[in-house]
Amino acid sequence: MIRLKLAAVALAMSSLIVGPTVALAQSGPMLTRPTTSSQYQDDTAQERDQRNSNRRNRNQPAAPDPAKVKADAQAALTAAGSDCQATDATLKGQVADGASMYEAVCATGPGFIVVTSTPAQLFDCALLASQAELNPGQQLQVCDMPANQNADQVFAGYARAAGIPCTVDEGVAIGRASNGATVYEIGCAGTDGYWIEQNGAAWTKTPCLRVVSDGKACRFTTAQEQNATVQALLVNTPASECVVEQFRLMGGNANGEFYETKCQAGTGRGYIIRVKDGVTDANYRCAIARPIGGGCTLTPESEWTDPDEDAGQ
């Protein structure tokens, strides 16, 4: 009997961690409404409003110089260890300890919020957007600059870097692995999605076919998209007539991963296929596949083909 070991996804997940929620302090002095005295009782409302406006304008802090804000944001990014080259930046205010908070747009990749604390703190705009999406009931800090509303583009870039051959239609940061690396879910148009993880300069990817078999969930991948992915594995094989109704990842060994496929009525009698490096290199009709990991369980035995038929390997 071929013994299969279930391919567990080696991701010890926790809730998304992007740092503490940062509360902004008032960036300018608090203003109080001027008290009306007797000398102004005969003034017109227009005159009073003009005087009050003049007082407020005198008390307003000067608008920050954009060039200085960008330079200060760049210095904070560098201090935080980021290689972001800021193309634009805004001063968002101050945190409770008096440190300044900046939002920066980067020449490539995601933008950041950076806080000039000791040490400097760095917050990825794409991660902040994911945190807000996953916690809709909380008032969480997010990036506001229009150029930083590009999380979908950022996730598509990550997918390309991870070698995912699909059209990305959705993405989100879902948590952290046991090694501290952020894990992202990538949704693909019309086909199986992935979990991806960056380790230094290298990326690892785990198909949602495997993620789901390990008892986790891919929110951006439908059952129809996964069936279509398995269907593509049957093209140009003796099982190509099978229209996949259901499948399961049985496990794997050094020779590859094994999938059972149940076919729609009239399109086949059920198969177990072996896949290595994304290519089906063997297939077995359910009638002769009993020794492989216990055989077929999705297709009833009454629907199996004759055991004397060629396995079609």
Residue-wise pLDDT for 228-271, tens only, equals 999 999 999 999 999 999 999 999 999 999 999 999 999 988 99
Which one-letter DSSP state was computed for residue 145?
S
Mean local confidence (pLDDT), 96-105 = 93
Residues 259-307: tens digit of each pLDDT: 999 999 999 889 999 999 999 999 999 999 999 999 999 999 988 865 4
pTM beyond 0.85, yes or no: no
Give the DSSP letter string of 11-45: ----S-------PPBPSS----PPPP-GGGTTS-H
Q: What is the pLDDT of residues 189-210, one digit of tens each?
A: 999 999 999 887 889 999 999 9
Q: Where are the alpha helices (DSSP H) in the chain?
A: 45-59, 66-79, 125-134, 151-161, 208-213, 223-233
Integer Cα distance of 88 and 83 in angstroms: 15
Tokens of 23: 């509360």
Instruction: Report d(CA 193, CA 217) in Å as an integer.
Output: 11
* Predicted local confidence at residue 307, as pLDDT: 47
**What six digits make up the tokens of 158?**
């990550």
Q: Extract the tokens encoding 9.
A: 């996804």
Q: Is the pLDDT of residue 28 over 50?
A: no
Count Cβ atoms within 10 A of the Cβ of residue 168 and give its class: 0-12 exposed, 13-18 middle, 19 or more buried. Answer: buried
Per DSSP, what are the bridge partners of residue 29?
A: none
Q: What is the mean pLDDT of the chain?
A: 82
